[in-house]
A and B are shown apart, each in its own frame.
Chain A
Amino acid sequence: GAVVSQHPSRVICKSGTSVKIECRSLDFQATTMFWYRQFPKQSLMLMATSNEGSKATYEQGVEKDKFLINHASLTLSTLTVTSAHPEDSSFYICSARDIQGLNTEAFFGQGTRLTVV
């Protein structure tokens, strides 16, 4: 199957700083990427839909100024957690779909465990 690479896999940052998470589709082009957040022992909650060349679409309750999403190319989307606080600590997962649309599934990155201290 297609490969989505997410980096870093783990990051610890100080409260008040910003951290960037990258999501790359390695062997296909993705016009749309998705960002999810997963709390321990809970499901994946969609945060936003990232569209190449345009603004991201955020789910209700997600602060767009805190979670900045940039989708500058067909293979890269970034999520920046700005002015991070301990409550932002979570597991963040991205997914992407092939631009050709031949596959109906979404391919997931390995996830990023963010800890804000």
Chain B
Amino acid sequence: AQTVTQSQPEMSVQEAETVTLSCTYDTSESDYYLFWYKQPPSRQMILVIRQEAYKQQNATENRFSVNFQKAAKSFSLKISDSQLGDAAMYFCAYRSATNDMRFGAGTRLTVKP
């Protein structure tokens, strides 16, 4: 079974600074997708960024980028120019070819003004 590990229960960053959230996963599959979701206090799951495993190029969405290391099974999220609105729980997720999505334990990000 696939597992997703987020080793940082909490992270803190100063406003306008950069922070990196870590994620590793375990799988024997070659075709899969990786995601970072944000969950604010409203608890609505919001997609931040996604990466297809077959793509070597790291995904980027404005201030959000990933460092995808397929051989190491690592998928970290970098948030640049952090804003107060970035404060939330962040979940790393893995989706297999069979379509079910598995989540890591989450990282609570605090942004200090």
Contacts and interface: CB of A to CB of B under 8 A. Distances in A.
Q: Do A and B bind each other?
A: yes
Interface of A: 1, 32, 34, 38, 42-46, 49, 91, 93, 95, 97, 104-106, 108, 110-111
B47 A49 contact: no
Contacts of B84: none
Nearest to B46: A108
Contacts, number: 44
> Interface residues of A: mostly helix, strand, loop or mixed?
strand
B29 interface: no
Contact of A43 (B35, B44, B99, B104): B104
A45 B93 CA distance: 11
Nearest to B32: A104
Contact of B43 (A1, A45, A91): A91
A42 B106 CA distance: 7
B61 interface: no
A110 to B, nearest CB: 6
